[in-house]
A and B are shown apart, each in its own frame.
Chain A
Amino acid sequence: MKTKVVLTFSPEASNQPITHNLIAKHHLLVNILRAEIDEVGGKMVLELSGKADDIRGGIDYLKANGVGVRPIKEGVRRDDEACTHCGMCVSICPTKALTMDLKTGKVSFNEDKCVACGVCIDACPPRAMEILI
Protein backbone atom coordinates (compact mmCIF):
# COMPACT_ATOMS: atom_id res chain seq x y z
CA MET A 1 0.00 0.00 0.00
CA LYS A 2 1.11 3.50 -0.78
CA THR A 3 -0.03 6.80 0.58
CA LYS A 4 1.10 10.40 0.33
CA VAL A 5 1.04 12.62 3.36
CA VAL A 6 1.88 16.18 4.19
CA LEU A 7 3.74 16.69 7.45
CA THR A 8 4.00 19.93 9.34
CA PHE A 9 6.27 20.10 12.34
CA SER A 10 7.59 22.39 15.00
CA PRO A 11 11.35 23.03 15.47
CA GLU A 12 11.52 20.42 18.25
CA ALA A 13 9.99 17.78 16.04
CA SER A 14 12.42 18.71 13.25
CA ASN A 15 15.28 17.64 15.45
CA GLN A 16 14.12 14.06 15.62
CA PRO A 17 15.17 11.45 13.07
CA ILE A 18 11.62 11.09 11.80
CA THR A 19 12.29 9.55 8.45
CA HIS A 20 14.88 7.23 9.93
CA ASN A 21 12.41 5.96 12.52
CA LEU A 22 9.71 5.48 9.91
CA ILE A 23 12.08 3.33 7.93
CA ALA A 24 13.78 1.46 10.76
CA LYS A 25 10.99 1.05 13.28
CA HIS A 26 7.92 0.98 11.10
CA HIS A 27 9.38 -0.87 8.12
CA LEU A 28 8.19 1.71 5.64
CA LEU A 29 9.68 2.82 2.36
CA VAL A 30 9.87 6.59 2.50
CA ASN A 31 10.10 8.73 -0.57
CA ILE A 32 10.66 12.41 0.22
CA LEU A 33 8.80 14.40 -2.41
CA ARG A 34 9.32 17.80 -0.94
CA ALA A 35 10.91 19.23 2.17
CA GLU A 36 11.19 22.74 3.56
CA ILE A 37 12.68 23.18 6.99
CA ASP A 38 13.79 26.34 8.74
CA GLU A 39 14.03 27.80 12.24
CA VAL A 40 10.25 27.96 12.70
CA GLY A 41 9.60 24.39 11.74
CA GLY A 42 8.93 22.75 8.45
CA LYS A 43 6.82 20.95 5.94
CA MET A 44 7.47 17.71 4.22
CA VAL A 45 5.64 15.71 1.63
CA LEU A 46 6.29 12.00 1.90
CA GLU A 47 5.19 8.97 0.04
CA LEU A 48 4.96 6.05 2.42
CA SER A 49 4.82 2.50 1.15
CA GLY A 50 4.45 -0.62 3.22
CA LYS A 51 1.82 -2.75 4.92
CA ALA A 52 -1.38 -0.95 5.90
CA ASP A 53 -0.72 -1.65 9.58
CA ASP A 54 2.80 -0.28 9.38
CA ILE A 55 1.57 2.85 7.67
CA ARG A 56 -1.01 3.36 10.38
CA GLY A 57 1.65 2.72 13.02
CA GLY A 58 4.01 5.18 11.34
CA ILE A 59 1.36 7.87 11.21
CA ASP A 60 0.49 7.32 14.86
CA TYR A 61 4.18 7.59 15.72
CA LEU A 62 4.38 10.93 13.86
CA LYS A 63 1.29 12.29 15.56
CA ALA A 64 2.57 11.22 18.97
CA ASN A 65 5.71 13.26 18.31
CA GLY A 66 3.90 16.49 17.53
CA VAL A 67 3.96 16.20 13.77
CA GLY A 68 0.84 17.29 11.89
CA VAL A 69 -0.18 14.65 9.35
CA ARG A 70 -2.64 15.28 6.58
CA PRO A 71 -3.45 13.39 3.43
CA ILE A 72 -2.12 15.14 0.36
CA LYS A 73 -5.61 15.66 -0.99
CA GLU A 74 -5.91 18.48 1.49
CA GLY A 75 -2.62 19.92 0.28
CA VAL A 76 -3.32 21.23 -3.21
CA ARG A 77 -6.68 22.25 -4.53
CA ARG A 78 -7.99 23.50 -7.80
CA ASP A 79 -10.80 26.01 -7.94
CA ASP A 80 -12.72 24.49 -10.84
CA GLU A 81 -14.78 27.66 -11.25
CA ALA A 82 -11.66 29.76 -11.77
CA CYS A 83 -9.85 27.38 -14.11
CA THR A 84 -10.09 28.50 -17.73
CA HIS A 85 -8.52 25.28 -19.06
CA CYS A 86 -5.75 27.33 -20.59
CA GLY A 87 -3.24 24.51 -20.19
CA MET A 88 -0.33 26.54 -18.82
CA CYS A 89 0.10 24.03 -16.01
CA VAL A 90 0.24 20.89 -18.12
CA SER A 91 3.77 21.43 -19.40
CA ILE A 92 5.23 22.31 -16.03
CA CYS A 93 3.67 19.80 -13.66
CA PRO A 94 6.50 17.32 -13.06
CA THR A 95 4.21 14.40 -12.25
CA LYS A 96 1.57 14.93 -14.95
CA ALA A 97 -1.09 15.46 -12.30
CA LEU A 98 -2.49 18.12 -14.59
CA THR A 99 -3.34 16.88 -18.05
CA MET A 100 -5.35 18.04 -21.00
CA ASP A 101 -7.88 15.94 -22.83
CA LEU A 102 -6.79 16.55 -26.40
CA LYS A 103 -10.33 16.08 -27.73
CA THR A 104 -12.24 18.46 -25.49
CA GLY A 105 -9.40 20.73 -24.40
CA LYS A 106 -10.41 20.24 -20.77
CA VAL A 107 -7.64 20.19 -18.20
CA SER A 108 -8.14 17.79 -15.32
CA PHE A 109 -6.37 17.60 -12.00
CA ASN A 110 -5.51 14.16 -10.67
CA GLU A 111 -4.89 14.64 -6.96
CA ASP A 112 -3.39 11.18 -6.59
CA LYS A 113 -0.47 12.11 -8.81
CA CYS A 114 0.14 15.49 -7.20
CA VAL A 115 3.22 15.74 -4.98
CA ALA A 116 2.46 19.27 -3.77
CA CYS A 117 5.61 20.63 -5.36
CA GLY A 118 3.96 24.00 -5.89
CA VAL A 119 5.35 24.61 -9.36
CA CYS A 120 1.91 25.21 -10.86
CA ILE A 121 0.77 27.75 -8.28
CA ASP A 122 2.41 30.89 -9.63
CA ALA A 123 2.11 29.69 -13.22
CA CYS A 124 -1.68 29.54 -13.29
CA PRO A 125 -2.92 32.83 -14.79
CA PRO A 126 -6.34 32.94 -13.06
CA ARG A 127 -4.73 31.56 -9.88
CA ALA A 128 -6.98 28.54 -9.79
CA MET A 129 -4.37 26.28 -8.14
CA GLU A 130 -4.03 26.70 -4.43
CA ILE A 131 -1.51 25.16 -2.06
CA LEU A 132 -2.67 24.88 1.52
CA ILE A 133 0.43 23.55 3.24
Chain B
Amino acid sequence: MTASEFKEYVKANGVKKAAREVDVVTTGTFGAMCSSGAYINFGHADPPIKMQKIWLDGVPAQAGLAAVDGYIGATALDETNNMMHGGAHVIEDLVRGKAVRLRATGHGTDCYPRKEIDTYVSLRTVNQAVLMNVRNAYQNYAVATNSSAKTLYTYMGKLLPEFGNATFSSAGELSPLMNDPYYRTIGIGTRIFLGGTQGYVMWEGTQFNPGAPRTPNGVPKRPAGTLAVIGDLKQMNPEFLKGLTFTRYGSSLGIGIGVPIPILDEDMARCCAVTNNDILAAVFDYSQPTRSRPVLREVSYAELRSGDIDIKGKQVPTSPLSSMYKARQVSEVLKSWILKGEFTIQEPVQSFPKDRPLRTLDVRTEREAT
Protein backbone atom coordinates (compact mmCIF):
# COMPACT_ATOMS: atom_id res chain seq x y z
CA MET B 1 0.00 0.00 0.00
CA THR B 2 1.15 3.55 -0.55
CA ALA B 3 1.52 5.73 2.51
CA SER B 4 -1.60 7.71 1.54
CA GLU B 5 -3.64 4.54 1.16
CA PHE B 6 -2.34 3.22 4.46
CA LYS B 7 -3.39 6.31 6.38
CA GLU B 8 -6.90 5.99 4.98
CA TYR B 9 -6.92 2.31 5.82
CA VAL B 10 -5.93 2.92 9.43
CA LYS B 11 -8.60 5.59 9.75
CA ALA B 12 -11.23 3.11 8.59
CA ASN B 13 -9.97 -0.09 10.21
CA GLY B 14 -7.72 0.84 13.10
CA VAL B 15 -4.05 0.20 13.79
CA LYS B 16 -4.48 -3.42 14.94
CA LYS B 17 -6.08 -4.62 11.77
CA ALA B 18 -3.69 -2.57 9.63
CA ALA B 19 -0.69 -4.15 11.37
CA ARG B 20 -2.12 -7.62 10.68
CA GLU B 21 -3.18 -7.07 7.09
CA VAL B 22 -0.57 -4.79 5.56
CA ASP B 23 3.00 -5.91 4.89
CA VAL B 24 4.65 -2.89 3.36
CA VAL B 25 3.91 0.82 3.03
CA THR B 26 5.58 2.79 0.24
CA THR B 27 6.57 6.39 0.93
CA GLY B 28 7.78 9.02 -1.50
CA THR B 29 9.19 12.48 -1.85
CA PHE B 30 10.28 14.66 -4.74
CA GLY B 31 12.10 17.88 -4.06
CA ALA B 32 15.19 19.97 -4.47
CA MET B 33 18.05 18.15 -2.80
CA CYS B 34 21.19 20.21 -3.01
CA SER B 35 23.67 17.79 -1.45
CA SER B 36 23.59 15.57 -4.49
CA GLY B 37 25.98 14.72 -7.26
CA ALA B 38 27.36 11.96 -9.42
CA TYR B 39 30.72 10.31 -9.76
CA ILE B 40 31.81 9.27 -13.18
CA ASN B 41 34.68 7.22 -14.50
CA PHE B 42 35.40 8.50 -17.99
CA GLY B 43 37.73 5.68 -19.12
CA HIS B 44 41.35 6.21 -20.10
CA ALA B 45 42.48 8.28 -23.04
CA ASP B 46 45.39 7.41 -25.31
CA PRO B 47 47.89 8.74 -24.40
CA PRO B 48 46.47 8.75 -20.87
CA ILE B 49 45.86 11.80 -18.70
CA LYS B 50 45.70 12.24 -14.93
CA MET B 51 42.89 14.77 -14.68
CA GLN B 52 43.48 17.58 -12.21
CA LYS B 53 40.75 19.86 -13.42
CA ILE B 54 37.55 18.70 -15.05
CA TRP B 55 34.69 20.57 -16.70
CA LEU B 56 31.46 19.05 -17.96
CA ASP B 57 29.68 21.46 -20.28
CA GLY B 58 31.73 24.19 -18.64
CA VAL B 59 30.69 23.26 -15.10
CA PRO B 60 33.63 22.28 -12.91
CA ALA B 61 33.64 18.73 -11.56
CA GLN B 62 35.77 17.61 -8.67
CA ALA B 63 39.01 15.86 -9.64
CA GLY B 64 41.62 14.84 -7.10
CA LEU B 65 40.74 11.17 -7.16
CA ALA B 66 42.61 8.82 -9.45
CA ALA B 67 43.26 9.71 -13.05
CA VAL B 68 39.82 9.61 -14.69
CA ASP B 69 37.32 9.69 -11.85
CA GLY B 70 35.37 12.89 -11.31
CA TYR B 71 32.46 14.01 -9.14
CA ILE B 72 30.01 16.60 -10.35
CA GLY B 73 28.03 18.33 -7.62
CA ALA B 74 24.46 19.51 -8.22
CA THR B 75 25.12 23.11 -7.16
CA ALA B 76 28.40 23.55 -9.06
CA LEU B 77 28.34 26.59 -11.36
CA ASP B 78 30.62 27.74 -14.15
CA GLU B 79 32.84 30.85 -13.85
CA THR B 80 30.00 33.08 -14.98
CA ASN B 81 27.74 31.64 -12.25
CA ASN B 82 25.19 30.65 -14.85
CA MET B 83 22.48 29.28 -12.60
CA MET B 84 20.36 28.14 -15.50
CA HIS B 85 22.91 25.44 -16.21
CA GLY B 86 24.66 24.11 -13.12
CA GLY B 87 25.85 20.67 -12.13
CA ALA B 88 22.28 19.48 -11.65
CA HIS B 89 21.40 20.39 -15.23
CA VAL B 90 24.46 18.56 -16.54
CA ILE B 91 23.37 15.46 -14.60
CA GLU B 92 19.86 15.77 -16.04
CA ASP B 93 21.28 16.14 -19.57
CA LEU B 94 23.28 12.96 -19.08
CA VAL B 95 20.20 11.09 -17.85
CA ARG B 96 18.33 12.36 -20.91
CA GLY B 97 20.94 10.58 -23.02
CA LYS B 98 22.64 13.75 -24.20
CA ALA B 99 26.35 14.02 -24.91
CA VAL B 100 28.17 16.59 -22.78
CA ARG B 101 31.50 18.24 -23.46
CA LEU B 102 34.32 17.00 -21.24
CA ARG B 103 37.38 19.16 -20.86
CA ALA B 104 40.20 18.19 -18.51
CA THR B 105 43.73 19.24 -17.79
CA GLY B 106 46.56 17.52 -15.94
CA HIS B 107 50.15 18.35 -15.13
CA GLY B 108 51.54 15.42 -17.10
CA THR B 109 53.49 12.59 -15.50
CA ASP B 110 55.72 9.84 -16.86
CA CYS B 111 52.81 7.43 -16.66
CA TYR B 112 50.13 9.98 -17.67
CA PRO B 113 51.88 12.21 -20.21
CA ARG B 114 48.81 13.90 -21.67
CA LYS B 115 48.10 17.43 -20.38
CA GLU B 116 44.68 18.14 -21.78
CA ILE B 117 41.70 16.63 -23.47
CA ASP B 118 38.58 18.11 -25.07
CA THR B 119 35.93 15.62 -26.08
CA TYR B 120 32.32 14.53 -25.64
CA VAL B 121 30.99 11.88 -23.28
CA SER B 122 27.58 10.41 -22.54
CA LEU B 123 26.25 7.74 -20.21
CA ARG B 124 26.88 5.31 -23.05
CA THR B 125 30.60 6.12 -23.33
CA VAL B 126 31.60 6.23 -19.66
CA ASN B 127 32.29 3.33 -17.32
CA GLN B 128 30.52 4.05 -14.05
CA ALA B 129 28.11 6.93 -13.61
CA VAL B 130 26.68 6.76 -10.12
CA LEU B 131 24.44 9.21 -8.33
CA MET B 132 25.84 9.57 -4.83
CA ASN B 133 24.06 12.06 -2.61
CA VAL B 134 25.29 12.77 0.88
CA ARG B 135 22.18 14.44 2.29
CA ASN B 136 18.70 13.80 0.92
CA ALA B 137 15.18 13.20 2.13
CA TYR B 138 15.29 15.44 5.18
CA GLN B 139 13.00 14.24 7.91
CA ASN B 140 11.05 17.45 8.27
CA TYR B 141 12.39 20.87 7.40
CA ALA B 142 11.63 24.51 7.99
CA VAL B 143 8.99 26.92 6.74
CA ALA B 144 10.47 30.08 5.23
CA THR B 145 8.95 33.53 5.12
CA ASN B 146 10.20 37.09 4.78
CA SER B 147 9.35 40.06 6.97
CA SER B 148 11.60 42.52 5.15
CA ALA B 149 10.60 45.10 2.56
CA LYS B 150 12.27 43.40 -0.40
CA THR B 151 11.85 40.12 -2.23
CA LEU B 152 14.34 37.45 -1.17
CA TYR B 153 15.63 34.76 -3.47
CA THR B 154 16.64 31.75 -1.38
CA TYR B 155 17.07 27.99 -1.60
CA MET B 156 13.55 28.00 -0.16
CA GLY B 157 12.36 29.79 -3.28
CA LYS B 158 11.14 33.30 -3.93
CA LEU B 159 9.96 34.96 -0.72
CA LEU B 160 7.80 38.02 -1.25
CA PRO B 161 8.20 41.02 1.07
CA GLU B 162 6.09 41.75 4.17
CA PHE B 163 5.17 38.09 4.75
CA GLY B 164 3.89 37.92 1.16
CA ASN B 165 4.19 34.15 1.12
CA ALA B 166 5.72 31.19 2.94
CA THR B 167 7.41 28.11 1.51
CA PHE B 168 8.01 24.68 2.97
CA SER B 169 9.87 21.76 1.55
CA SER B 170 8.90 18.47 3.14
CA ALA B 171 6.46 16.00 1.65
CA GLY B 172 4.97 15.73 5.15
CA GLU B 173 3.03 12.55 5.80
CA LEU B 174 4.30 10.94 2.57
CA SER B 175 7.94 11.61 3.35
CA PRO B 176 10.03 8.48 4.05
CA LEU B 177 11.55 9.34 7.42
CA MET B 178 8.28 10.81 8.74
CA ASN B 179 6.85 7.31 8.60
CA ASP B 180 9.76 5.69 10.41
CA PRO B 181 10.63 8.42 12.89
CA TYR B 182 13.07 6.32 14.93
CA TYR B 183 14.77 4.64 11.95
CA ARG B 184 13.65 1.13 12.85
CA THR B 185 13.44 -0.13 9.27
CA ILE B 186 15.58 2.40 7.40
CA GLY B 187 19.33 2.06 7.77
CA ILE B 188 22.49 1.32 5.87
CA GLY B 189 21.74 -1.02 2.98
CA THR B 190 18.00 -0.32 2.71
CA ARG B 191 16.91 -0.70 -0.89
CA ILE B 192 15.00 2.34 -2.13
CA PHE B 193 13.50 4.07 -5.15
CA LEU B 194 16.01 6.62 -6.38
CA GLY B 195 15.48 8.79 -9.45
CA GLY B 196 13.31 6.20 -11.15
CA THR B 197 15.43 3.14 -10.46
CA GLN B 198 16.53 1.06 -7.49
CA GLY B 199 19.15 2.51 -5.22
CA TYR B 200 20.38 2.10 -1.70
CA VAL B 201 20.81 3.99 1.51
CA MET B 202 24.57 4.04 1.94
CA TRP B 203 24.90 5.86 5.25
CA GLU B 204 23.18 8.28 7.54
CA GLY B 205 22.92 11.58 5.68
CA THR B 206 25.18 14.48 6.65
CA GLN B 207 23.82 16.72 9.41
CA PHE B 208 21.88 13.68 10.68
CA ASN B 209 20.35 14.99 13.88
CA PRO B 210 18.17 12.39 15.60
CA GLY B 211 18.10 14.50 18.76
CA ALA B 212 15.91 17.23 17.22
CA PRO B 213 12.86 18.08 19.36
CA ARG B 214 9.92 15.76 18.77
CA THR B 215 6.20 15.66 19.42
CA PRO B 216 4.97 13.02 21.95
CA ASN B 217 4.34 10.60 19.06
CA GLY B 218 7.99 10.81 18.03
CA VAL B 219 7.72 13.01 14.95
CA PRO B 220 10.52 15.59 14.80
CA LYS B 221 9.47 19.23 14.78
CA ARG B 222 12.72 20.42 13.25
CA PRO B 223 15.13 19.12 10.61
CA ALA B 224 16.25 15.74 11.98
CA GLY B 225 17.24 12.57 10.12
CA THR B 226 18.69 12.56 6.61
CA LEU B 227 19.78 9.88 4.16
CA ALA B 228 22.92 9.41 2.10
CA VAL B 229 21.89 7.47 -0.98
CA ILE B 230 23.46 5.86 -4.02
CA GLY B 231 22.21 4.46 -7.31
CA ASP B 232 23.11 3.83 -10.95
CA LEU B 233 22.68 7.06 -12.91
CA LYS B 234 22.57 5.04 -16.14
CA GLN B 235 19.23 3.51 -15.09
CA MET B 236 17.59 6.73 -13.94
CA ASN B 237 14.59 8.41 -15.49
CA PRO B 238 14.35 12.17 -16.17
CA GLU B 239 10.77 12.06 -14.86
CA PHE B 240 12.28 11.70 -11.42
CA LEU B 241 15.53 13.63 -11.80
CA LYS B 242 15.48 17.28 -12.75
CA GLY B 243 17.93 20.17 -12.84
CA LEU B 244 16.44 23.13 -10.98
CA THR B 245 17.32 26.80 -10.70
CA PHE B 246 16.67 28.91 -7.65
CA THR B 247 17.17 32.46 -8.85
CA ARG B 248 20.18 34.18 -7.28
CA TYR B 249 20.85 31.08 -5.16
CA GLY B 250 21.94 28.61 -7.79
CA SER B 251 21.17 25.19 -9.16
CA SER B 252 19.87 22.18 -7.33
CA LEU B 253 18.77 18.69 -8.20
CA GLY B 254 15.12 17.70 -8.00
CA ILE B 255 15.01 14.03 -7.24
CA GLY B 256 12.41 11.43 -6.39
CA ILE B 257 13.11 9.12 -3.47
CA GLY B 258 10.85 6.42 -2.12
CA VAL B 259 11.43 4.06 0.76
CA PRO B 260 9.38 0.94 1.48
CA ILE B 261 8.54 0.52 5.15
CA PRO B 262 7.71 -2.98 6.36
CA ILE B 263 4.93 -2.98 8.95
CA LEU B 264 6.80 -5.07 11.51
CA ASP B 265 4.29 -4.64 14.31
CA GLU B 266 1.57 -2.39 15.68
CA ASP B 267 4.07 0.20 16.70
CA MET B 268 5.32 0.51 13.13
CA ALA B 269 1.73 0.70 11.90
CA ARG B 270 1.08 3.52 14.34
CA CYS B 271 4.14 5.39 13.02
CA CYS B 272 3.02 4.99 9.40
CA ALA B 273 -0.46 6.20 10.30
CA VAL B 274 0.93 9.66 11.03
CA THR B 275 -0.92 12.41 9.17
CA ASN B 276 -0.20 16.00 8.26
CA ASN B 277 -2.20 17.06 11.32
CA ASP B 278 0.40 15.43 13.59
CA ILE B 279 3.48 16.85 11.88
CA LEU B 280 4.69 20.28 12.88
CA ALA B 281 7.34 22.54 11.42
CA ALA B 282 8.79 25.84 12.55
CA VAL B 283 8.34 29.07 10.59
CA PHE B 284 11.52 31.12 10.22
CA ASP B 285 12.05 34.64 8.97
CA TYR B 286 14.67 34.29 6.24
CA SER B 287 15.34 38.01 6.18
CA GLN B 288 17.45 37.41 9.29
CA PRO B 289 20.82 36.40 7.89
CA THR B 290 21.94 34.35 10.88
CA ARG B 291 22.30 30.68 11.76
CA SER B 292 19.92 30.94 14.68
CA ARG B 293 16.85 32.64 13.29
CA PRO B 294 14.02 33.04 15.75
CA VAL B 295 11.01 30.73 15.37
CA LEU B 296 7.93 32.77 14.44
CA ARG B 297 5.52 29.92 15.16
CA GLU B 298 4.96 26.22 14.77
CA VAL B 299 2.50 25.07 12.18
CA SER B 300 1.12 21.70 11.06
CA TYR B 301 1.52 20.35 7.55
CA ALA B 302 -2.25 20.16 7.32
CA GLU B 303 -2.37 23.94 7.70
CA LEU B 304 0.55 24.42 5.31
CA ARG B 305 -1.17 22.21 2.74
CA SER B 306 -4.42 24.14 3.03
CA GLY B 307 -2.93 27.00 1.00
CA ASP B 308 -2.40 29.65 3.67
CA ILE B 309 -1.26 30.02 7.26
CA ASP B 310 -1.59 32.72 9.85
CA ILE B 311 1.60 34.63 10.63
CA LYS B 312 1.26 37.52 13.05
CA GLY B 313 -2.41 37.93 12.20
CA LYS B 314 -1.87 37.88 8.45
CA GLN B 315 -3.15 35.16 6.12
CA VAL B 316 -0.02 34.18 4.23
CA PRO B 317 -0.26 31.99 1.10
CA THR B 318 1.97 28.91 1.16
CA SER B 319 3.94 26.99 -1.46
CA PRO B 320 5.16 23.43 -0.99
CA LEU B 321 8.39 23.37 -3.13
CA SER B 322 8.42 19.60 -2.82
CA SER B 323 6.00 18.13 -5.31
CA MET B 324 3.16 16.22 -3.73
CA TYR B 325 2.09 15.07 -7.17
CA LYS B 326 5.48 13.50 -7.89
CA ALA B 327 5.85 12.18 -4.35
CA ARG B 328 2.60 10.26 -4.89
CA GLN B 329 3.88 8.99 -8.21
CA VAL B 330 7.06 7.73 -6.54
CA SER B 331 5.11 5.87 -3.87
CA GLU B 332 2.84 4.35 -6.52
CA VAL B 333 5.66 3.24 -8.80
CA LEU B 334 7.46 1.69 -5.86
CA LYS B 335 4.29 -0.11 -4.84
CA SER B 336 3.85 -1.50 -8.35
CA TRP B 337 7.46 -2.75 -8.41
CA ILE B 338 6.94 -4.56 -5.12
CA LEU B 339 3.65 -6.10 -6.27
CA LYS B 340 5.29 -7.33 -9.47
CA GLY B 341 8.15 -8.84 -7.50
CA GLU B 342 10.69 -6.60 -9.19
CA PHE B 343 11.71 -4.96 -5.96
CA THR B 344 12.39 -6.85 -2.76
CA ILE B 345 12.56 -5.35 0.69
CA GLN B 346 16.07 -5.28 2.07
CA GLU B 347 16.57 -5.26 5.80
CA PRO B 348 19.27 -2.76 6.76
CA VAL B 349 22.70 -4.25 7.39
CA GLN B 350 23.27 -1.68 10.10
CA SER B 351 21.04 0.77 11.92
CA PHE B 352 21.66 4.48 12.16
CA PRO B 353 23.18 5.87 15.35
CA LYS B 354 20.63 6.89 17.96
CA ASP B 355 22.47 10.02 18.93
CA ARG B 356 24.67 12.29 16.94
CA PRO B 357 25.33 15.83 18.05
CA LEU B 358 24.87 18.45 15.34
CA ARG B 359 28.01 20.54 15.20
CA THR B 360 28.48 24.02 13.81
CA LEU B 361 31.36 25.69 12.08
CA ASP B 362 32.96 28.48 14.06
CA VAL B 363 36.16 30.39 13.53
CA ARG B 364 38.61 28.64 15.84
CA THR B 365 42.29 28.58 16.54
CA GLU B 366 44.22 25.42 15.82
CA ARG B 367 44.24 24.67 19.56
CA GLU B 368 40.50 25.15 19.95
CA ALA B 369 39.90 22.77 17.07
CA THR B 370 42.20 20.04 18.34
Contacts and interface: CB of A to CB of B under 8 A. Distances in A.
B164 to A, nearest CB: 7
B165 A106 contact: no
Nearest to B242: A126
Contacts of A90: 307, 317, 319
A85 B328 CA distance: 11
A131 interface: no
Interface string B225-243: 0000000000000000011
Contact of A87 (B158, B252, B320): B320
Given A84-B254, A125-B32, A125-B245, A92 B158 contact: yes
Interface in A77-104: 84-92, 100, 102, 104
Given A102-B305, A102-B306, A125 B254 contact: yes
Nearest to B153: A122
A84 B245 contact: no
Interface string A41-78: 00000000000000000000000000000000000000
Contacts of B166: 91
A86 B322 contact: yes
A11 interface: no
B94 interface: no
Contact of A104 (B317, B319, B325): B325
A28 B167 CA distance: 40
Interface string A25-49: 0000000000000000000000000
Contact of B317 (A91, A106, A119): A91
Contacts of B246: 125
Given A91-B167, A126-B254, A86 B323 contact: yes
A132 interface: no
Given A86-B322, A92-B165, A100 B307 contact: yes
Interface residues of B, number: 36
A84 B247 contact: no
A88 B243 CA distance: 15
Contacts of B167: 88, 91
B31 interface: yes
Nearest to A99: B307
A109 to B, nearest CB: 14
A127 B89 CA distance: 12
Contacts of A89: 319
Interface in B318-370: 318-328
Contacts of B245: 125-127
A91 B165 contact: yes
B75 to A, nearest CB: 13
Contact of A84 (B153, B242, B307, B317): B242
Contacts of A125: 32, 157, 244-246, 252, 254, 321
Nearest to B322: A86
Given A84-B323, A84-B326, A106-B325, 12 more contacts: A86-B254, A86-B321, A88-B319, A88-B320, A91-B319, A92-B160, A92-B165, A105-B327, A123-B158, A126-B242, A126-B243, A126-B254
State the 6 A-B residue pairs at the shortest beta-carbon distance, nearest first.
Answer: A105-B324, A91-B165, A125-B244, A85-B325, A105-B325, A123-B158
11 contacts: A84-B323, A85-B326, A87-B319, A90-B319, A91-B316, A106-B325, A119-B158, A122-B158, A125-B32, A125-B246, A126-B242
Interface of A: 84-92, 100, 102, 104-107, 119, 122-123, 125-127
